[in-house]
Amino acid sequence: MGPLEYLKNRLDPEQFEKIKAIDNPELHEFLAKYIDLLNPAKVFVCTDSKEDEEYVRRKAIEYGEEKPLAMDGHTVHYDGYYDQARDKARTKILVPKGVEIPFVNTMDREEGLKEIHEIMKDIAKGKELFVCFFVLGPKNSIFTIPAVQLTDSAYVAHSEFILYRKGYEEFKRLGREAKFLKFVHSAGELDERKTSKNIDKRRIYIDLEGETVYSANTQYGGNTIGLKKLAFRLTIRRAVQEGWLSEHMFLMRVNGPNGRKTYFTGAYPSMCGKTSTAMISWENIVGDDLTFIVDMKGEARGANVEKGVFGIIQGVNQEDDPIIWEVLHSPNEIIFSNVLVKDGKPYWNDMGIPIPEEGENHSGKWWKGKKDAEGNEIPPSHKNARFTVSLEAFPNADLEALEAPCGVRIGGMIFGGRDADTWPPVREAFDWAHGVVTMGAALESETTAATLGKEGVRAFNPMAILDFLSVHIGDYLRNYLEFEKKLRIKPKIFAVNYFLRDKDGNWLNHKLDKAVWLKWMELRVHGDVDAIETPVGYIPKYEDLKRLFKEVLNKDYSREDYEKQFTIRVPEFLAKIERIEKIYGDVGNIPEELFKVLEKERERLLKAKEKYGDYISPFQLEKS
């Protein structure tokens, strides 16, 4: 029996007709194989119609995966208590025998496929399976990558409708030409709270060769929303093979003088200020997480892979995040996950208003002081609690740029980490290679709650992409360095650090200072202000920042603050170079250029140390 015939026998006539309308034998074969393996009670095929999307929304509530909240359009979803973050240990890249990729959790492909197929056999029995079609990037453009998702979780399907552009019509248009990504997910057996039960059998396996991701016995979005960080592994590999960049970056518009629009991308590890930067209220957001960057006639053009936000909610407050706050308190379509709910209202940690002392959260019925089985006190909302909402809900979204088939021209690229003692708040690279190596490839950050494991450890995380690499880091960096050669107009590269402290551990930056660093970077892209040359790149002049602080934040900015923030900390920079050199030296197959750039930086630092000492005031460098 051929795949199409199998589907005809297995699906309701109405659902079968939706599949039959797509002329793609590879798709038919994929659907037949996995519908047979998962063995659901029924199958629903989603087209691009509003009715199909509405059906999925209804089912998420009917099946108990989401509950309506008091405000129209708002629902809450809970993941299991031990299913609250990306499961790095059980997320594996499947590779042919004998292949190893440094820093990447790999597994023999045949072994992995055998195991996941055994785990997934009959896993959707008695449940409804949703077949969903989406595209990554704007439709019908150079960026478009079609994708198909199979899931027995209406919550996952609903999330993807909010986060991604619908792709059913695109599949029909492309027919046999569609080079699509494939995602197979099952939440597995559910407990009475409708959360995944068998988490010992939680698996997230990424098959590079088949461009297919398998995810079982988990509901947390980072493990199950296939088109997000799981697809990211597949697109990184495609980008390296084809000579473009698939990056863990926001995309935003910074508004310069006289109505000038300048677009920036930014890569920051989790909880390092990425989303809050992209959402500064007087700038314009295009995307908060993933960006495709291609060469178009010698220009670096960027597009948001997604059309929605799956954002960390902890710490979102009215003063620092006025736009997100407004969005979360308006009747938009929003899925809150793993927050505290009391009387139909969501609450989360550090939201700046009093939080109820009891309610329901990711642990079930909750009260202040409640402890888990391990004796840990349970916070009101999980540290990694999220909100899922469309970018259309944001008053400052640049929707024209979001859907531009040719993307937007990138003026600057920013790399930012959580660094207490080394990087100044903002600096500019001397050139592309200097930025890629000393800011991107050398990115380190203190660990946070978005991944399972210990917090507060300084972790190496090049381009904020280490958790998602699917190729050798050397090949990834070589592609980055080579990409410059295609460009007539090269984006400037910057590094930021919002987490610098003094010797007593006090913060040297206020949360909103990032708005000033952005305005300075925008001026530098267009050569509107001069800068001070340091051994590690260009830094702002005090007079420029003093003016910008007044203009942007209506704040006075003292010479003392400036000097503390922009002092070049030579011993810390030298120690960092040693750490980074050792990491890459131990890996092998790293572009020689990386070591040359690091060595030049070391020489500049040692020369400056000889002249000025260990800690160099920006005022000393300005005079020289």
**In degrees rounded to 5, what are phi and psi of residue 206?**
-115, 110
Domain boundary among 212, 242, 272: 242
One domain, residues 98 and 223 = yes
Residues 171 and 124 in one domain: yes
Residues 424 and 370 in one domain: no
CA distance 61 to 66: 5
Q: Is residue 442 part of a domain?
A: yes
Q: Is the pLDDT of residue 343 over 80?
A: yes
* Cβ neighbours of residue 317 closer than 8 Å, sequence gap 6 or more: 325, 350, 351, 352, 353
492 and 525 together in one domain: yes
Q: Give per-residue pLDDT as tens, 28-60.
A: 999 999 999 999 999 999 999 999 999 999 999
Q: Is residue 394 part of a domain?
A: no
Is 247:265 a contact under the CB 8 Å cutoff?
yes
Please indicate, yes or no, whether residues 340 and 216 belong to a single structural domain of this protein.
no
Q: Is the dihedral of CA 417, 421, 424, 425 positive or negative?
A: positive
In this predicted model, what pLDDT tens digit does every residue of 528-574 receive, in sequence order? 999 999 999 999 999 999 999 999 999 999 999 999 999 999 999 99
Q: How far lies 555's CA from each of 148, 358, 393, 508, 542, in Å?
A: 50, 40, 30, 15, 14
- The mean pLDDT of the chain is 96
Instruction: Give yes or no: residues 35 and 134 share one domain.
Output: yes
Considering the domain architecture, whether residues 118 and 258 belong to the same structural domain is answered as no
Which range of residues forms the domain containing residue 371? Answer: 313-387
Per residue in 435-448, pLDDT tens?
Answer: 999 999 999 988 65
User: Does 558 lie in the same domain as 409?
Assistant: yes
Same domain, 126 and 213: yes
Confidence tier at 154 by pLDDT (50, 70, 90): very high
Q: Please choose, from the candidates 47, 129, 31, 16, the residue with its C-alpha nearest in 3D space to the C-alpha of residue 8.
A: 16
In a domain, 561, yes or no: yes
Q: What is the sign of the dihedral through the CA atoms of 481, 486, 492 and 497?
A: negative
pLDDT band at 425 (very low <50, low <70, confident <90, very high): very high
Question: Is position 80 within any domain?
Answer: no
Is 305 contained in some domain? yes
Tokens (6 digits) for 145: 């990558």
pLDDT band at 462 (very low <50, low <70, confident <90, very high): very high
Whether residue 94 is predicted with pLDDT greater than 90 in this model: the reply is: yes
One domain for residues 61 and 172: yes
Counting the structural domains of the chain, the total is 3
- Distance, in Å, from the CA atom of 572 to the CA atom of 570, rounded to the nearest integer, reads 5
φ, ψ of residue 354 in degrees (nearest 5): -60, 140
Q: Could you tell me how many residues make up the chain? A: 624
Give the residue from 242, 259, 276 where a domain finishes. 242
DSSP 197-222: --GGG-EEEEETTTTEEEEES---HH
Tell me, what CATH number does 120's domain have? 3.40.449.10
272 in catalytic set: yes
Query: Of 337, 359, 387, which residue constitutes the final position of a domain?
Result: 387
The CATH number covering residue 606 comes to: 3.90.228.20
pLDDT at position 167 over 60: yes
Residue 453 amino acid letter: G
Q: Which two tokens stand for residue 200?
A: 């010992």
**Domain co-membership, 334 together with 454:** no
